[in-house]
Amino acid sequence: MDGPYLDVDELNQTSNANIFAVGDIINRPNLTPVAIEQGRVFSDNFFNDQKRKVNYENIPKAVFTIPEISTVGLSEKRAKEIYSKKNIKIFKCKFTPMSNTFKEKKSKCMLKIVVNNLTDKVLGCHMFGETSSEIIQMVSIALNAGITKKDFDITMALHPTISEEFVTMYG
């Protein structure tokens, strides 16, 4: 045991073959959806004789402020640490959504895509602005599927939406 956590293997089994642990007691991201998935995976493995593992890659996160702030995948800084600065390309845009056209208080949006320049693989997407948590949740599916920047580029935009900016960023 390292610190306040129980050590578990990738199937959430402790050093005692009959004891499993999930949730905040193990050293994994302490988020409700993570604990729920750990429980589902345990149930599938223990009661249905599967060998599923929890996917800890690309866990979306959000801060429910106004505007919302959401992220999935690697940050620009972390991507540059792993792949070196020269191998990372950043795509960004800032704008006022059309949904603000008739509002007195106009909120801004910012979107960022972090791309491995050698493979074109999207490593992270980050956003602040209205509905960012909903948008980033869907982007996390694409990241888990191994989406590339080209995949974003060839996807038709849905206008007028905030999320269309993810598929219209060129650099």
Give the active site residues: 159
Assess contact for 124 and 76: CB atoms under 8 A.
yes
Rounded distance, CA 120 to CA 77, Å?
17
H/E stretch holding 46: helix 32-48
Q: What is the largest CA-CA distance in the chain?
A: 62
Question: Partners of 91 in the beta sheet?
Answer: 113
